[in-house]
Amino acid sequence: MTLISTLSAELDEMRAAGTLKRELLMKSAQGPIVEVEGKGEVIMLTSNNYLGLADHPVIVEAAEKAERDYGYGLASVRFICGTQTIHRTLEERIAQFFGTEDTILYGSCWNANEGLFQTVALEQDAIVSDELNHASIIDGIRLAKARKERFKNRDVADFRRALEATKESRNTIVMTDGVFSMEGSLAPLPEMIDIAKEYDAFLVVDDSHGTGVLGKTGRGTAEEMGVAGKIDAHTSTLGKALGGSHGGFTTGPKPLVDYLRQKSRPYLFSNTLPPAVVMGSLAAIDLIENDPSFVTRLRDNTTYFRAQLTAKGVTVRPGIHPIVPIIIGDTAKAIAMSAELLDRGIYLSGFGFPVVPQGAARLRCQISAAHTREHLDRAIEAIVAVAEKHEVLSNA
Ligand SMILES: Cc1ncc(COP(=O)(O)O)c(C=O)c1O
């Protein structure tokens, strides 16, 4: 049992250092207010439920209807007997939403990223990737045989250097998050589009935190930056703004999608999305397209929250995104602050190493369209009080 003693010793070290992550048990649906076992009702300030659709009655009804009409699961992968008409409908709707030719669904965006690079980037190709890209991109790239070149986060000059370094490759794929999930910062897409074009590289954006969130109509980071329609392909998730359940996709040119359908391993060897998720996601896209107020409310709430916290001396990473990180530094301190906030009725997670670099632990606030001003004010009051106690207020 030496493996188990090794693991236990490391867990003990993490426990002693105060860096052990704990999972709170919720007894309610995901929403702006959740019930946490042993704590009662608290304000949720740390979920990806950006538009508040995770418990939206229209989506719940669509999911229930899907189960009545199409059953609970397909007991298969897509190409054997796991494709219903609704799977194709969702793929087409996502393509329309993004203005692309076609879409391929995956069990998650993790799977979409995992199934992209190893499939289309071979030994003679190159992948150029932002250093702060999501873990699913990093792992996905590891599986590819292509040459790999990283560039400094959002650094356009270093991006050009990386492309120059790989220019002899047959094909070059550029990969960036649209929104960097620990920072709430956006990739410099307009510049990247121009430079990628110069080098004839294929630009893919993982817009998991942009889809349904950014841009006037929620179409994502490219819409926000005025370059919608100029990204070669996107990966994204159904597990955040678009209902918050599960599932992901790659959307782009038809030959790319056709090729992935033939060869992408997480698509070929993992179960199809369940009908409830498919119909729930379709309902989510309908809601966003028919009611622009979801996106507007999210933007207004974010602007208010950022301005109020800053005015009260809490330093947040600047930006426009509903991810609002408060940098604390020490992991144990961030976790302790998170626990104190929970005692004050605010559910706000602390993130430390290895999710973020050593010394850059943070509380990552995430705003939802479903928050009321009262929720936000209560959260701000609690954060300011805990920040004051831990001496992280800039005006202290
Ligand atoms: C940028 C990014 N890509 C991919 C994922 C994974 O998405 P999914 O939960 O659909 O696997 C996440 C989720 O945290 C993410 O932030």
pLDDT digits (tens, 9 = 90+) for 59-75: 999 999 999 999 999 99
pLDDT value for 394? 78
Among 240, 321, 371, 375, the one annotated catalytic: 240
Residue 18 has pLDDT above 80, yes or no: no
Is the confidence at residue 269, as pLDDT, over 80? yes
- Torsion over CA of 138, 139, 142 and 144, rounded to 10 degrees? -100
Q: Where are the domains of the chain?
A: 18-47+292-389, 58-290
190 prior amide bond cis, ω within 30? no
198-203 contacts: CB < 8 A, separation 24 or more?
198/163, 199/163, 199/164, 199/167, 199/172, 200/172, 201/128, 201/163, 201/171, 201/172, 201/173, 201/174, 202/171, 202/172, 202/173, 202/174, 202/232, 202/233, 203/174, 203/176, 203/231, 203/232, 203/233
Confidence label for 364 from pLDDT (cuts 50, 70 and 90): very high
209 is catalytic: yes
- 353 vs 209, residue with greater confidence: 209
Mean pLDDT of all residues in 235-248:
98
Strands 346-347 and 248-252: unpaired
Segment 366-386, tens digit of pLDDT: 999 999 999 999 999 999 999
Looking at residue 225, its pLDDT comes to 98
What span, in angstroms and rounded, lies between the C-alpha atoms of 232 and 63?
32
Residue among 285, 335, 325 nearest 302 (CA):
325
pLDDT band, very low/low/confident/very high, at 331 (cuts 50, 70, 90): confident
Average pLDDT over residues 186-204: 98
What per-residue confidence (pLDDT) applies to 395?
A: 60
pLDDT bucket at 128, cuts 50 / 70 / 90: very high
The arithmetic mean of pLDDT across residues 296-319, rounded, is 96
Q: In this model, does residue 301 exceed pLDDT 90?
A: yes
Taking residues 259-277, report their average pLDDT. Answer: 98
Catalytic annotation present for 216: no
Residue 346: helix, strand or coil by DSSP? strand
Residue 240 CA neighbour count, 13 Å, CB half: 28
**Residue 8: what residue type?**
S
Mean pLDDT value across residues 8-31: 92
Note the pLDDT of residue 357.
Answer: 86
Please determine, for residue 19, whether its predicted confidence score (pLDDT) is greater than 80.
no
* DSSP per residue, 234-266: EEEESSSSS-SSS-EEEEE-HHHHHHHHHH-HH
Q: Say if ligand 1 is within 6 A of residue 237 CB.
A: yes
Cα–Cα distances (Å) from 139 to 15, 94, 145, 266, in that order, read 27, 25, 12, 13
Q: Which region among 179-188, 300-309, 326-335 has the lowest average model confidence (pLDDT)?
A: 326-335
Contact present, 37 and 229 (Cβ < 8 Å)? no
Catalytic residue among 87, 134, 209, 375: 209
- Provide the pLDDT for residue 114: 98
Judge if the beta carbon of residue 181 lies within 6 A of ligand 1.
yes
Contact 331, 217 (CB under 8 A): no
Strand partners, 332: none
Q: Across all residues in the chain, what is the average pLDDT?
A: 96
Catalytic one of 136, 169, 181, 368:
181
E strand or H helix that includes residue 382:
helix 373-389
Question: Is pLDDT above 70 for 327?
Answer: yes
Per-residue pLDDT, 68: 98
Cβ proximity of 76 and 87 under 8 Å: no
Positive/negative CA dihedral, 247, 278, 212, 205:
positive
Q: Which mutation among 49, 138, 179, 237 tests ligand 1's pocket best, with the greatest number of atoms within 8 A of CB?
A: 237
- pLDDT of residue 1 exceeding 90: no
Tell me what pLDDT residue 332 has: 86
Whole-number Å distance between alpha carbons of 366 and 50: 8
Q: What is the CATH number of domain 18-47+292-389?
A: 3.90.1150.10
pLDDT bin (cut points 50, 70, 90) of residue 132 is: very high
Looking at the chain, how many residues does it have? 396
208 touches ligand 1 (CB under 6 Å): yes
Helix 373-389 × helix 331-343 angle, to 10°: 130
Query: Within its chain, how far is the Cα of 123 from the centroid?
Result: 29
Of 3.40.640.10, 1.10.3720.10, 3.40.430.10, 3.40.50.10470, the CATH number of 58-290 is: 3.40.640.10
